Each structure stands twice: as structure tokens, then as C-alpha cells.
Amino acid sequence: MENVVLIVHLILALALIGTVLLQRSEGGGLGMGGGGGGATGSRPAPTAMSKFTWLLAIAFICTSIALTLISASNSAGSSVADRLGIEPTEEGVEVPDLGDSLLPPTSDDAPLVPSGD
């Protein structure tokens, strides 16, 4: 099921890219061009291509949500440690003993330096 939704999702993504690239530029993108109308200008009536783009966008969002829900249901109750096959110990995480090699030297470990007096 997940593979079918994923293939439909990819086809929708490619179709959405194609329809956006095929549309005629209406100007006014990012505030450039557009003429002197400003806020008083009217929007043109939606074309069949813009309606089709909205339909593809809504279908793309629906397949995105469906993929998220499918993925969440597949991974419910499991963790990364379960997938790696790591068995937790009774006390928790087992920490290896590194000894004192990572600790800074104490005053007891410092060599005695004779004073030259």
C-alpha cells in the first residue's frame, strides 16, 4: 500500500512541476512588474490550467498526509535500537569502563620538583 501511494505521490509531484512550468506568467511575482494598478488591480478569472494546478496541489498534500500516517503506523512501538537488534540491560545502558585515562591528573599524581633554593 505504501509503495502505491508513494508512486502516486511522485507522479503528482512531476505533474505539478509540469503544470506550474507550463502556466503563463501573470506578472507581479515578488512585487516585480504588474503595472500601476497596485491594490486596486483586479485578478484575472481562474483558467482551466490554474484550476488543474490547484487540484494537483490538493492531491499532493493528501498523498503527503497519507504517507505520513502509513509511516507512523508502520513504526509504532519500535525504536532505532529495536531495528539494530541491541538488547538493553536491566540497569539501562551499559557503559564501558575506561579507567582513569580520561581524567586530569590530581596533585597526588604530579611529580615532585625539587626547589632550587
For 57-93, letters b (16+ CB in 10 Å) and e give: eebbeebeebeeeeeeeeeeeeeeeeeeeeeeeeeee
What percentage of the chain carries pLDDT values higher than 70? Answer: 53
**Mean of the per-residue pLDDT values of the chain:** 77
Res 14 pLDDT > 70: yes
Model pLDDT for residues 28-60, shown as the tens digit of each residue: 555 555 555 555 556 777 888 889 999 999 999
Domain residue spans in the chain?
1-21+49-73
Whole-model pTM: value is: 0.55
In angstroms, rounded to a whole number, what is the distance separating the alpha carbons of residues 16 and 52?
9
What percentage of the chain carries pLDDT values higher than 90? Answer: 34
pLDDT of residue 10: 97
Which amino acid, 91?
E
